[in-house]
Structure 1
Amino acid sequence: MSLTIVTAADATFARTLAQFLKSVGRHGIGTTARIAVYDLGLDPAERASLAARFAFAEFLPFSLVPYPAHVAPKAGTYAWKPLVIADAAERFGGRLFWFDSATLFHGPLNEPLAELDRFCVYTLSGQSNLAGRCAAEIRDRLKVEPEFLDRQIRVGGVLGLDLARPAARALLIDWAELALDPAVFIPARSDHSHNADQAILSILLFRAQKRGDLTLNEGDIDISSPRPVRWMSSRNKIDATRPAWTDPLQRLWYRAYKAGDRLNLRWQDFYRRRILGLHRFPKEHFRTYVMRAGDALPTPVPTPSLSYYADPFLWQREGRTWLFAEEFEYAEQRGRLVAMELGKDLRPGPAVPVLPIREHASFPFLFEAEGRLYMLPETCAMGALDLYECERFPDKWRRVRRIFEGRDAVDSLLFRQGGWWRLVTCEKPAGAEGARRLAAYRSRELLSGAFEPLPVNDEKIFADGQHGFGRGAGSVFADGEGLLRVMQKNTDYYGQGTEARRMTGLATGDYRETPLGEGHPLADLLRLASPHHVSMAGDTIAFDLRTRLGFVSGLPWIGRRLNRIDPAAKRFLAGDPDVLAGIAEAVSRLAGAIRPVDGRPPSSVRRDGE
């Protein structure tokens, strides 16, 4: 089958094109493939010179006259690119590769050709996600599936198509048709947050993969990647304003910079994950416990080595009890979500990974609506608050809505009350310094309605706190008098303790919280155990607490005595019989006094498919 290599350039990229063609000739690519260069505005004399120097290349005209104004290179939309590729596909057919003219080859194309033969489309991944490279208005216009938002974007500088296969042809047709829409191919913004050609290409690729039309190959472009493909190099643009004799120096600079960048990225990755993660091991650890009403002692949940479990949430299904939690892995410096089935003795089974995303995830808040199970995890590292629906319990979840973007919202609660969906969280703008504030919202629709802010958001409650003071700390509960929220009460360190608060004013929009007094079983449990988080399902309680604080706390023997954790937590961990008896009594009282607000009746046991 024929092979065609396609690129394009205008006068600004003439010298960049020259080094591209030198690279093609150096590795003999022109002897096995047709080389097609589209003229987007080359100077006639320069074009003649390039044609004479590189006789293996075929220079082709590309008239912009038939196309809308936004297609022109000067518009900055890159809408011309899919149209050029479509023209080449119609001319030549067979196997076709597009490369930006700033590409340099480091060898023959054996690797990408083998992948193209296998997958019918060849692309490379960038390090940004789709949400970061596709403007929100374009995502809304194209009704982009929320599940795609955190996927690595597929770059537009390298694209291989086997045009004998329907999936490749359909992809190119759709891409070229969208390129004609000026409302979709909009110019890159000043902050370069939108890249129309690769954003639209990525959306089409992800949709084709979801339909089962194609599979995407592995491999990263050499931009901000510690381990990119090695057969090519991108973005080797020659500055046309500099003298021609500097071209070799510019190429040398790019090569040195990229080699240094790869080394730096590998070091930064090792430092952030391994060194900083293991640095936390001796001074930060949480332990999770589960307990039923009537039990004398809580049952500890064993953790893997170099990990801990935190933020435990309980869920009952088909008469079985499951524990969802964050597993923080020191060696990765990252939390991931897992689920474990609890046996009749409350001992956990194997941990099943849940929601495998690239960023840190925690606080797997679960609830049900209209018979469907949802999760609202904390993913503030992504600068977003996302809602997921369970497709296969317990391990397969699909993002169905991005509630907020560009916002650092943590430990969020979502529940239905008074005909509204209520969202209570602690937030600040993504990347902002300082503490988060209490925030409350309401919406009529879970999956599509806008979440309206309540007046309490302007009061900046907890904005002067430290150590995560005010963050959510578990389930939403209801007793005979109304709704309860457990919040973190950290005056000295993160994970120090919690406080139960009664939520009022939801019906009027004047949201308020007041602490529960002593004597309430939930307040008593929090006072005795000093937990970081507490949840409930049926008559079973799960809670965690911090067990190490400061480097000396990790030392054997003496570390326990020098550990600076809260005295209440120390008494519990030391097995104080009065504390344990008080906790057992509080848990037994809790089973008859409160219930979790999770969208289901207290005794709901739902079967698959019901």
Structure 2
Amino acid sequence: MSLTLVTAADAAFAPTLAQYLASVKAKGLDRDARIAVYDLGLDPGDRTRLAARFPFAEFLPFSLVPYPAHVAPSAGTYAWKPLVIADAAERFGGRIFWFDSATLFHGTLAEPLAELARCGVYTLSGQSNLEQRCAADVRARLAVEPAFLDRRIRVSGVVGFDLEQPTARDILIDWAELALDPAVFTRADRASHNTDQAILSILLFRAEAAGRLVLNDGDIDISSPRPVRWMSSRNKLDPARPRWTDPLARLWYRLYKAGDRANLRWQDFYRRRILGMHRWPKENFRTYVMRAGDAAPTPVPCPALSYYADPFLWRRDGRLWLFVEEFRYPEQLGRLVAMELGEDLRPGPLTPVLPLREHASYPFLFEADGALYMLPETCSLQSLDLYVCDRFPDRWRRVRRIFEQADAVDSALFRHDGAWWILTCGKPLGQDGARTLALYRSEDLLTGAFEPHPVNAEGIFADGDYGFGRGAGSILRDETGLLRVMQKNLTYYGQGAEVRRITRLDAGSYREEPAERDHPLVRLAELASPHHIALHDDVVAFDVRARVGFVSGLPWIGRRLNALDPAAKRFLSGAPGLDGQIAAAVSAACRRLRPVDGRPPSSDRPCDG
């Protein structure tokens, strides 16, 4: 099958094109492939010299006359690129590889050709995600699936198509057709919008989601600690500089990229390994579960160099599951996992439930219209996303990005008085200071806009430190009304919880106050000083912070000098008689409390599989 390497250049890229062709020649790529160069406006003199110097290259015209104005290179949309590749595909067929003219080859094409044969399309990943590189209006026009927003973009500076494979042909045809739409191929902005690669990425992600394509691994050498090594990108030469400086420019690019890779690897090691392990002696949570009628809470053991936090419970087909954040010290990263709890409440194997590159926590679960949803904390993505369960417990799909460019933590989503409500704690993105209580209302869970509530302007908890006021578990209902659990942190994060009674919740007003002292959930919070409490059916889960400050990591003396809340110290040390008091509080709470909508918890309908 034929192989064609395609690139294009205008007058400003003539020296860069010469460097590309010299690299092709140096690695002998011209012996096994057709080398096609599309002329986007080369100076006639430059073209003549290049053709004489590199006789293996076939220079091809590309007329802009038949195309809309936005296709021109000067428009900055890069709409010409898929059209050039489509033209080459029609001319030559077989296998087509596009390389930007600023590419340099450091090896053969054995690796990308093998991947192309396996996958049908060859691309490399960038480090930014689709949301960061595709403008919101373009995403809306193409109805981009929310599940794609945090996927790393596939760059278009290196892309291969095996035109004998139908999926590859279809993707290229669709890419070229979309390039003719000026509302899709809008002007690129390096900081926030790269049209050609954004649209290509959407098409690739859709093909993969439909089972028509498997995307290959590999990173482009832009801000990547471990990129592919057979090529490098963005080696542009300044046409205004003397040509004798070209070797110095190439040397500079190689040294810079080697230094950049080394720095990125060090930064990753420092940020994850060193800073993560730095947290080990001073930060730890322990998670417990307890049924009504049990004599004592059952601890949930966690893997070495990890802890569990933010527990939520769910029952499915009569089996009880615990969803938690697993924080891994060596990675300084939280991930969401689930585990089945046996009759003795001992956990089974871990099952990852939301594999994100970024930190995730607080897996808030709820049912709606026969489906199970999760609203996790993903503020590291600067968003609040809603996921639906496609297969319990491990397969979840993002169905909606509720808020973009948002710093919202420990959120709850529930239905009350005919509307959907989000109760969260947030602040303007990038702003210092405490987060404040925030409430939003919508008529429709999946499509309605969540409008801000007037209470947001009151700045409730603005004077609280250490995450005071953040959500700390389930939204519940008893015989009097709604209850929420929030964090009550006076001297450190995770110090304790407070149960708040929601006394008014409507479109114009929101009020809450501490629940009555004799309430069993309040009693549990006072006895154990938990960071988080969740209830489902007749089971309660909670976590307690077990270490504060470096001295707390020391054996024996650390337990004595630990700055923990006195109630947490008593609970963790197993104070006599405390288990019985906690057992009484848990049993009473399970009798009185139900989910926010008042239904007995159901778990037999939400997911397939």
Structure-2-length-normalised TM-score: 0.98
Amino acid at match of 1:176: A
Asked if 2 retains the 8 angstrom alpha-carbon contact of 1:354 and 1:397, the reply is yes
Once residues 422 and 288 of structure 1 are traced to their aligned partners in structure 2, the CA distance between those partners, rounded to angstroms, is: 28
* Local SS of the residue matching 1:18: helix
Quick check: 1:308 aligned with 2:312? no
2:295 corresponds in structure 1 to: 296
Q: How does 1:22-421 map to 2 (within 5 A)?
A: 22-189=22-189, 192-421=191-420
Amino acid at match of 2:602: S
Once residues 371 and 194 of structure 1 are traced to their aligned partners in structure 2, the CA distance between those partners, rounded to angstroms, is: 38
* Local SS of the residue matching 1:345: coil
- How far did 1:240 drift? 2.2
- How far did 1:459 drift? 1.6
Tell me which of 576, 595, 600 is aligned to 1:602: 600
1:543 corresponds in structure 2 to: 542
Once residues 609 and 559 of structure 1 are traced to their aligned partners in structure 2, the CA distance between those partners, rounded to angstroms, is: 48
Amino acid at match of 1:185: F
2:468 corresponds in structure 1 to: 469
Q: Percent identity between the aligned chains?
A: 73
Aligned length: 608
Amino acid at match of 1:551: F
Once residues 577 and 343 of structure 2 are traced to their aligned partners in structure 1, the CA distance between those partners, rounded to angstroms, is: 26
Once residues 57 and 177 of structure 1 are traced to their aligned partners in structure 2, the CA distance between those partners, rounded to angstroms, is: 28
- How far did 1:241 drift? 3.0
CA RMSD, aligned part only?
1.3
Once residues 608 and 180 of structure 2 are traced to their aligned partners in structure 1, the CA distance between those partners, rounded to angstroms, is: 44
Amino acid at match of 2:9: A
- How far did 1:153 drift? 0.6
Asked if 2 retains the 8 angstrom alpha-carbon contact of 1:116 and 1:161, the reply is yes
Once residues 164 and 587 of structure 2 are traced to their aligned partners in structure 1, the CA distance between those partners, rounded to angstroms, is: 69
* Local SS of the residue matching 1:123: strand
Shift of the 605–397 alpha-carbon distance from structure 1 to 2, 3 Å rule, reads closer
Asked if 2 retains the 8 angstrom alpha-carbon contact of 1:368 and 1:600, the reply is no
- How far did 1:204 drift? 0.1
Structure-1-length-normalised TM-score: 0.98
- How far did 1:589 drift? 1.1
2:3 corresponds in structure 1 to: 3
Q: Deviations over 1:72-111 (max 9, x none)?
A: 1111110000000000001111111000000000011111
Quick check: 1:425 aligned with 2:421? no
Once residues 213 and 592 of structure 1 are traced to their aligned partners in structure 2, the CA distance between those partners, rounded to angstroms, is: 51
* Local SS of the residue matching 2:331: coil
Deviates further, 444-453 or 515-524? 515-524
Amino acid at match of 2:424: T
- How far did 1:392 drift? 0.7
Asked if 1 retains the 8 angstrom alpha-carbon contact of 2:79 and 2:179, the reply is yes
Asked if 2 retains the 8 angstrom alpha-carbon contact of 1:550 and 1:563, the reply is yes
Amino acid at match of 2:46: E
Asked if 2 retains the 8 angstrom alpha-carbon contact of 1:326 and 1:363, the reply is yes
Amino acid at match of 2:176: A
Once residues 167 and 293 of structure 1 are traced to their aligned partners in structure 2, the CA distance between those partners, rounded to angstroms, is: 56
- How far did 1:120 drift? 1.0
- How far did 1:312 drift? 0.3
* Local SS of the residue matching 1:161: strand
- How far did 1:609 drift? 5.1
* Local SS of the residue matching 1:91: helix
Asked if 2 retains the 8 angstrom alpha-carbon contact of 1:496 and 1:565, the reply is yes
Q: Deviations over 1:217-275 (max 9, x none)?
A: 11000001100000000011112233333222211111111000000011111111111
- How far did 1:156 drift? 0.6
Once residues 480 and 96 of structure 1 are traced to their aligned partners in structure 2, the CA distance between those partners, rounded to angstroms, is: 69
Displacement over 3 Å in runs of 4+: 607-610
Q: How does 1:428-439 map to 2 (within 5 A)?
A: 428-439=427-438
Q: Deviations over 1:394-417 (max 9, x none)?
A: 011111000011101110000001
* Local SS of the residue matching 1:15: helix
- How far did 1:14 drift? 0.7
* Local SS of the residue matching 1:359: coil
Asked if 1 retains the 8 angstrom alpha-carbon contact of 2:528 and 2:568, the reply is yes
1:571 corresponds in structure 2 to: 570
Gaps of 5+ in 2: none
Once residues 147 and 403 of structure 1 are traced to their aligned partners in structure 2, the CA distance between those partners, rounded to angstroms, is: 12
